[in-house]
Structure formats: structure tokens, C-alpha cells
Structure 1
Amino acid sequence: MSYQVIARKWRPQTFEDVVGQPAAAQTLKNAILQKRIAHAYLFAGPRGVGKTTTARILAKALNCVQGPTIMPCNVCDSCQEITAGNSIDVLEIDAASNRGIDEIRELRDSVKYAAARDRYKIFIIDEVHMLTTEAFNALLKTLEEPPPHVVFVLATTELHKVPATILSRCQHFNFRAISHKEIFDRLNYIASQEHVQISQESLNAIARAAEGSMRDAQSLLDQVISFCGREVEDDQVRSLLGIIPQQLLEGFTQAIIETDARQILLMVDQLVQSGRNLQHFVREMLSHFRNLLLVKIAGDDHQLIPLSSMDLVRLKELAGHFSEEDLTRFFNILVTTEGELRWSSQPRFHLEMGLMKILQAKRLVSIEELVAGLTDLMDAEKRLDSPAKEASQVNRPSSTSKFTVNSGSKTQSQPQVSPDPQTPFSNLAERLKSAIAQRSPMVSSLMDHAHGLQLMEGEIELQFTNQNRFYYEMLQSAENLEMIKELADSIVGRPQKVKVVLINGPFQPASSTEDKSSQKPSKSQLLDRVKSDSNVKTFLDAFQGEITDVKELK
């Protein structure tokens, strides 16, 4: 007997043997047990997940001499012929090569005749989405009302190409991609039955390369056995499948951690010299960073991360050097790089630049950290300013206080009078400020930027400099002025007029202004003063910046 490949030798022969499709298998078994056999089924899913295999098992279950049964015997003539694919009552049609209306007309003619030997005449149409529009239309009526002895089983890998009129006439089953663990367990069982010595790492590599297809996985295992013999070495599997070694991926990751651009360029050169496909390498790096992110989020979950325990331990150690934002950013850069490599005439250059972008991205600071740093700077500035502000308010003469009474600012025709001879004007100003803060903290914060507050006979004047024009304009709203007037009337005990005025600049004694103008610091002195400021130093360290010029604000 000629050699039979593993994919055919270990093809499931009963519903219990079908791997990864429990819902479809159970539904079909229940339909047989309850004698609710539909006239048309549609199996949709990726390649190599059991669509045609399940269709054959269904055909055997319906036509077995012991059936209809959920456990076909696989020894009767009907079962053996269906398994071999030469049953005259089970027709397998490849729609990719029989896609025209003429072939469908022949099928419609054959439907009229009863089965030659078995109970049902079963038509298995594979890749049904390849039929032409005319062929689909010719099939509609037959598919909707076939003779009672006919069952249609349609299979497709591209469900979206099947017309809705066909979908509505069939029972639809979705066949999912088979999980890594299910493929691994099946390969492990086959290897033990075939007496092949192969490590779990190699089986993991084959299962990953299959990408959810059991048939692809079995074909790869067959190829590996042909290449390595009964004793399979891990290095041979990696070489045959073109897999990038895990150690190489970890080496690139370590170079990124150490921000070693030279080492990364040397490793890229080694990839090129060894003849590896750079686009395949980028895809492996994408899988690697995806695993790092999952380790960061979910820990060593073998269901999510198809790696050995030893590899997971190393991944967890590497993932500790990155944040989730870093790994997401790296993944996006590699996705862009992989797309560029497809059409590039110089793939090495794009790969090198992509890896350099990852090095630069590692230095980026998240928005949250940036805001937290700026908040810390503002808090530090407030702590530094508050003692100096308190000291200046204690030592400053009353005539230059921010909230005080300017007794000489008005003429003698407007003398300042107090409603209570025992209450000084400064106390009235502080009481007014306190009352405003309790009523409206926002208005109080606007008044904090006022240069001065003057209480005079029947009038309150708030003074702002040009530098605080914004607060001056905000305070001038009718609502704010009305609230200040109401509180002032209550505190002073008589009606008051509230004015908000803009003055040219902060009040300073003439001698002081002259001294300052005569002692204007030079640019070098200003630069030294700015560089010595602790807040500026912190800001420069956070953003890795430098001061190139200093200008004195006027």
C-alpha cells in the first residue's frame, strides 16, 4: 500500500474525533437523534478546520447500514466508500472548477433520480462561493425544495461572497479557527502514535506556524518528520520552518532596554548576512511584543500566550522594563514598518529606521507623567513663593499693601470717613475680601491679581495693571460688580460704588524705580539667575532641554 500522509491518515472519522468544533458536531448529532435532518447545510470557516471532514462524517452517519446514527460503523461498504471518496451516492463537487451554469444544470438533472443504494443522495459542494451568479440563481429553486432523498452540504472559506438568497435556504454553521492548545494536543497525540520523539518547543513552533489550521499543522509535522526522521531536533525545526529563534528576539529586546543602537544595527546585519526574510522577522517581532504586552497584563497565562514555561519566565523579566504604553507604541511602529517592507526595494533600510524609531519612542514621556511633573513643579513653586510673600507682606509699609487704603490718592473734597471710628479701613478691606471668598471663590481668585483695593467715601476702587488685563476684564461683568457692591454695602453700612480701573503699572516709590532702572541686570546676570533657579533645573532635567536666551519681561 502506498504511503498516506498524516493529514489523511489521521483525518477524523466520527463526530467525536472532530477537534475544535463542539457546537457544530453536537448540533448535527442532535439533529440525527431527533430525526430533524435539514435538506441543506452551509459550513463556513477558515481553511483546514474540518468543514469537508464534517460533511463526510454527516454523509456516513446518514447512509451507514446501521443508521441514521451518530456513530457510523466505518466498516460497511457505504462508510468505506464515502471515506475513500468514491461513493456513487455521495458526490463531492469542487465549485472552483465546476462553477458555471452548465454544471449546475447537470446537478439539477441528477437530483431527480433516487440514490442507487443508500438512503440519501448527498451533494457536498466545496468552495461554493466560487460559483457564478448565474449558477447560484440556477441552484436556488432546487436548494429550496429538493426531493426528500437529497441533502446538500455547502462549504466555503469566504462566507461574505455567498448570496443572501443561498444563506436563507441553508442551516448555517460557523467553523472557528482551532486554538493553539487543541492543535498542540492533537499533534502530541499523533507524534506518540507515530513513535516520533519531538520536544514540546518544536510542537509549539509547528502549532504557531499553523495559524489555527489543523490540516496545515499535520502537513508541517509530516514535513518535519521527513526532514529530521524519528528524532526531531529543535534547531532543525526552526531551520525548516524559517522561525526566528526566541533568543534572537530577546536579544533585540535587551538592546532596546539598554538603548544600544549600535548593537541593534549589528544584529540587523547578522539577519541580512544569514539570508533571513526581514518581513518575516518583523512579523515575529510583532508576535514577540504582543506576548510581552500580554505577560504585562495577564501574567503567565498559557491559554493566551503559546510559549513554554521557561520562555514565559524570560518574557516576564523583559516586560518589567516597559510600560503597557511603551509596548503598544512599539507594536504600532512595527506594524507600520511591516507594511513598508512589502513594497520597499531596500527592506533593510526600512527595518533599521523602524528599530531606531522604537529606540526614540522609548524616551517619550506619557501625558499622565508630564502633567504630574508639571503639577509637582507648580506645587514646589507655591511652597517657595509663600514664605517670601508672607515676609514681604509683613515688612512692607501699609501704604504699599496690595489691599490697603490710599489716603492721599483723592483730593480733600473727598475725605475718607469710617462708619465706625473704632474700625480701621484695612480691617474693612480684609473683611470684604473674606466675604467675597466665601460667596464666590472664583471672584476672590480674580481679585487676588488686583494691584490694589482702595476704600474711599462712598466708593471702592479695584486697580489692575496691564499685565493682569485678563483678570480686569473678567471682573468687570455686571454680575461680579453687583455681588461686590452688595457685600461692600453690608460691611461698610451704607451704599457704595464699585469701580474696576486699569493703571499703567505696579505702584513703586520714585526712588525705588530710579534705583532699579539704574541697576538693570545684564543678560549674563539674568541667564545665571535663571539657571540657578531650582524649578528651572527640574524642568530642564525632565525635558532634557537647555536655555539659549533670556529676555526680561516689561
Structure 2
Amino acid sequence: DAASNNGVDDIRDLRDGAVYTPERCKYKVYIIDEVHMLTPNAFNALLKIMEEPPDYVKFILATTEVHKVPATITSRCQRFDFRRILTEDITKRLCYIASKENISIEENAAALIARLSDGGMRDALSLLDQCAAYSENISMDTVSAAAGIAGRGHLFDIIEAAVSKQPGNALAVADNLYSMSKDMTKLCSELTDQFRNLMLLKVCPEKTDLIVCMPDELDRLKNISAKLELSEILAKLTVLQECSERMGKALNKRIEFEMCLIKLCSVQIQQKTIDNTEIYDKIKQVDNVSVPEKTERPAETEETASPKPAVNMSQLKASDFKPLAEWSEILAEFTKVSPSVSGTLAGSRAFVYSNIMLIDTKNQFFLKLFKVKENFALLTETIRRVMGKSYVIKARCSAAAESEQKAGKLIEKAVSSGIETVVE
């Protein structure tokens, strides 16, 4: 396991043991799982034996991130890419296994197991085993109970409540499912899959082979898709994906999911372009503030839009801005998407007033990076995800301001002392 044994000493131990011939078998086979986790020195140690291995030694290197394996290693390997198995193939195999094991299973139930396994035969067989323990006759209800997912009828009830903007109906269905100990995380994932189907039906209705659903559900999905604009589907899909991300660290997944349902039923996003020229012109008038070049940005959604336009900074006082408690969380999330830029924010602070966020950094180089459109977009998106709303963002370097202030005092002192001074 290279994830746990990734040091150079671990590979040296492996290399020392490889020189001994196998006791009983023809070959000595070393399987290194998650090989991309090895350190550079460990890879170098492994390369020495892979260059000229003994005839009886074989290596099998397994990884999901082959791009992280050095070219000196991959060039000495035969590469086999394993892909997800088609849902139809898993369904046929499950039916075959069930017949040999004297298990009664409906074909649509086997198809549901195949879909839930997401292309993995091992997961499909594990779920089949669980279903067999639940009942001798495996139906879709059996699969739903064993997997802890919502029944298909309940799932479509939530979708139709979201389309007709009836949050009460959606919350009632969710409450009923919660009382039956259904997994809210899986329910969110199922809804995401179905809205993906709606998106594909809207974009390319003729490509039904891309749709992952039961045969009797296709017509129902088509009817729902006809009631929605593509922008609405994409907006609701975004709400579900954001909810799925937050549920991983939420203390109460039920509340998180209920908040998501309310947004699904009440939010309608219109995607259009607005010009922020006036706002940007006002921001540029502020001392020690750096902003990126003006770009056209999409209008914010109702749930994330700024409550009021940006106010004139000249009318604000320093006391109006309050420290942002979530700044450390924002930095942690920003490090995941842009570690190089986030490094320049070490020791920084953030303050907010209304829909204005002021970043106070000690590193003047951040102001240069902040002007790059890509960096600005990543930071604003990270702030929006963490805070749940969008801000007009400005940045300043307090260290630079202090340096200028000290220089000014030094010049004043020199002039008052009669020292000839030249300021460049």
C-alpha cells in the first residue's frame, strides 16, 4: 500500500527482498497499490530494480492518477486502462449470477443495482448480496430498502414539487423519507442524477442512450424537461451539487438537504450579462485598492445576489467594516483550487460591510496576482461558495501603506532639518 508505505526505506526493503528467489511459485509478484503516492526518492529507489529486474520478479503498479507517476517508471511498464462497465452489461451479469445462485430478481431491480454501482462490478455484487439477505424475491423496493435510497415514486414527487415551486410538498416527502431512515446524502445524489437526465434531454433529446434511468421513467422525464428552460435546469443542478459538497461536513444533513429543497423550489436563475463599469470606477478611486480589469460577469442568482449595489467608498469609515470570521475557512478552500495565490495571503485578514469585502494582506505581490482575471475569478467563486452570496471584492496591502507612511515621515524630518531631499 503506497499510500501508507511511501518512503524510500519502504522501497529499499522491498528491493532487498526481491533478490531472493520464490520458494514455491515460478514468479514473485509485487502489487503496489496507489503507486502515485510514492515520494520522488522512493520512485528513484523503485526505478533501480525496475530497470533490470530478476527474471522471476514481476511488478503490478495500480493507480487512479497515472499522470503523477514519473515517465521513467511508466516507460518501463505495459499500461492497461480499466474503465467502468456498462450498466447493461452489469445488469445481464447480475441476472446470470442470480439464476446460478437460485435468487429471484426482477430485471428492473437488477438494472437499478447496476446503476447504483456506478460501473463497478464488485459494488454491484455486494449490493446484490445485501438484497438477497433482505428478501428471496428481489424487487426495486428491495433494492431501495437495502441501499437506503428513495423509492422512484418519491424521487419524482420531489422533482415535480421543485418544478411547480411547491416547497411544502418537497419538504413533506423528505420528512417521510427521513422517518424511514433514508440516507439524505444518497437522496441528494439521486436528485442530481435525475436533473442531469433533464439537462441532457433538453440539450440533445435524440441521445436517449446518454440517459441513465428506468425504461418506464423516460417519458416522465421528457414531460418534466418540457416544462423547464435549460437555464433553470442548470441552476437547480448547481444548487444540488453545492448541497452535496456541503453535506460532507454538515453537522445536520437533514437541515442541509431541506435548505437545498427550498432553494430548488423557490429559486429561478436568469442568466444574463450586466455591466459593472460604474462600480469598478468607484472602486478604483479608493487608495491602496487593487482591482482586476473590468470584465463582464453573469448576473447573480436570487439566493446569492448582493442585497444592494456597492456603496460609495468615500462615504465609509474604517469602523464600518467588521472582521470576517469565515476568512480562515475561505483560505482553506482557496488553497485547494489555487495554492500558489493563497500562499501570498498568509497572515491576511478580511473585513466586510454590506456586500463589500476588503482583503488586507501583508504581501504586496498578492495585489499583482489579484489583477489576473483567472485568479480573481477563482477567489470570488470560493468566497461565494463559502459565504453563500457574492461580494464586491477589494484588496489592499497594509505593509505597503505603512512603508509609505514611514517614508513620508522620514522626508518631513529631513526637510525640517534643512537636509536637501530629492523624491523620485
Map residues 147-546 of structure 1 onto 2, 5 A cutoff: 147-229=54-136, 231-299=137-205, 301=207, 303-362=209-268, 367=272
In structure 2, relative to structure 1, the CA distance for the partners of 1:159 and 1:283 (3 Å cut) is same
Deviations along 1:339-368, one digit per CA (max 9) or x if unpaired, are 333334454444334333333334x55659
Q: How many residues align?
A: 273
Aligned to 2:297: none
Residues in 2 aligned to 1:95 and 1:343: alpha-carbon distance in whole angstroms = 27
What amino acid maps onto 2:47 in structure 1? L
Residues in 1 aligned to 2:12 and 2:264: alpha-carbon distance in whole angstroms = 60
Partner of 1:244, secondary structure, is coil
Residues in 1 aligned to 2:183 and 2:133: alpha-carbon distance in whole angstroms = 24
What amino acid maps onto 2:79 in structure 1? H
Deviations along 1:93-132, one digit per CA (max 9) or x if unpaired, are x555665555544543454455667665543333434545
Asked if 2 retains the 8 angstrom alpha-carbon contact of 1:181 and 1:303, the reply is no
What amino acid maps onto 1:170 in structure 2? C
Residues in 2 aligned to 1:209 and 1:195: alpha-carbon distance in whole angstroms = 23
Deviations along 1:325-346, one digit per CA (max 9) or x if unpaired, are 2211110122223333333445
Partner of 2:142, secondary structure, is helix
Asked if 1 retains the 8 angstrom alpha-carbon contact of 2:127 and 2:146, the reply is no
Deviation at 1:159, TM superposition (A): 3.1
TM-score, scaled relative to structure 1: 0.44
What amino acid maps onto 1:241 in structure 2? A
Aligned to 2:363: none
Map residues 30-41 of structure 1 onto 2, 5 A cutoff: none
In structure 2, relative to structure 1, the CA distance for the partners of 1:205 and 1:96 (3 Å cut) is same
TM-score, scaled relative to structure 2: 0.56
Residues in 1 aligned to 2:65 and 2:32: alpha-carbon distance in whole angstroms = 14
Asked if 1 retains the 8 angstrom alpha-carbon contact of 2:201 and 2:208, the reply is no
Residues in 1 aligned to 2:6 and 2:37: alpha-carbon distance in whole angstroms = 6
Deviation at 1:203, TM superposition (A): 1.3
Asked if 1 retains the 8 angstrom alpha-carbon contact of 2:150 and 2:177, the reply is no
Asked if 2 retains the 8 angstrom alpha-carbon contact of 1:286 and 1:335, the reply is yes
What amino acid maps onto 2:188 in structure 1? V
Deviations along 1:34-68, one digit per CA (max 9) or x if unpaired, are xxxxxxxxxxxxxxxxxxxxxxxxxxxxxxxxxxx
Larger Rg belongs to: 1
Asked if 2 retains the 8 angstrom alpha-carbon contact of 1:204 and 1:306, the reply is no
In structure 2, relative to structure 1, the CA distance for the partners of 1:342 and 1:167 (3 Å cut) is same
Deviations along 1:78-104, one digit per CA (max 9) or x if unpaired, are xxxxxxxxxxxxxxxx55566555554
In structure 2, relative to structure 1, the CA distance for the partners of 1:275 and 1:194 (3 Å cut) is closer
Asked if 1 retains the 8 angstrom alpha-carbon contact of 2:35 and 2:69, the reply is yes
Deviation at 1:236, TM superposition (A): 1.9
Please identify, of 95-104 and 134-143, the stretch whose mean Cα deviation from structure 2 is larger: 95-104
Q: Structure 1, unaligned stretches of length 5 or more?
A: 1-93, 369-554
Aligned to 2:418: none
Deviations along 1:164-186, one digit per CA (max 9) or x if unpaired, are 44333323332222232232222
Match of 2:53 among 125, 146, 158: 146
Deviations along 1:143-170, one digit per CA (max 9) or x if unpaired, are 1122344332222234355344433332
In structure 2, relative to structure 1, the CA distance for the partners of 1:150 and 1:353 (3 Å cut) is closer
What amino acid maps onto 1:184 in structure 2? T
Residues in 1 aligned to 2:170 and 2:242: alpha-carbon distance in whole angstroms = 19
Residues in 2 aligned to 1:314 and 1:215: alpha-carbon distance in whole angstroms = 31
Asked if 2 retains the 8 angstrom alpha-carbon contact of 1:292 and 1:315, the reply is yes
Asked if 2 retains the 8 angstrom alpha-carbon contact of 1:114 and 1:149, the reply is yes
Deviations along 1:277-303, one digit per CA (max 9) or x if unpaired, are 333222211111111222333337553
Asked if 2 retains the 8 angstrom alpha-carbon contact of 1:126 and 1:154, the reply is yes
Residues in 2 aligned to 1:268 and 1:115: alpha-carbon distance in whole angstroms = 59
Partner of 1:171, secondary structure, is coil
Deviation at 1:142, TM superposition (A): 0.9
What amino acid maps onto 1:152 in structure 2? F
Asked if 2 retains the 8 angstrom alpha-carbon contact of 1:300 and 1:312, the reply is no
Q: Structure 2, unaligned stretches of length 5 or more?
A: 274-424
In structure 2, relative to structure 1, the CA distance for the partners of 1:149 and 1:312 (3 Å cut) is same
Partner of 1:303, secondary structure, is helix
Please identify, of 320-329 and 100-109, the stretch whose mean Cα deviation from structure 2 is larger: 100-109
Deviation at 1:321, TM superposition (A): 1.0
Asked if 1 retains the 8 angstrom alpha-carbon contact of 2:164 and 2:265, the reply is no
What amino acid maps onto 2:145 in structure 1? S
Deviation at 1:254, TM superposition (A): 2.0
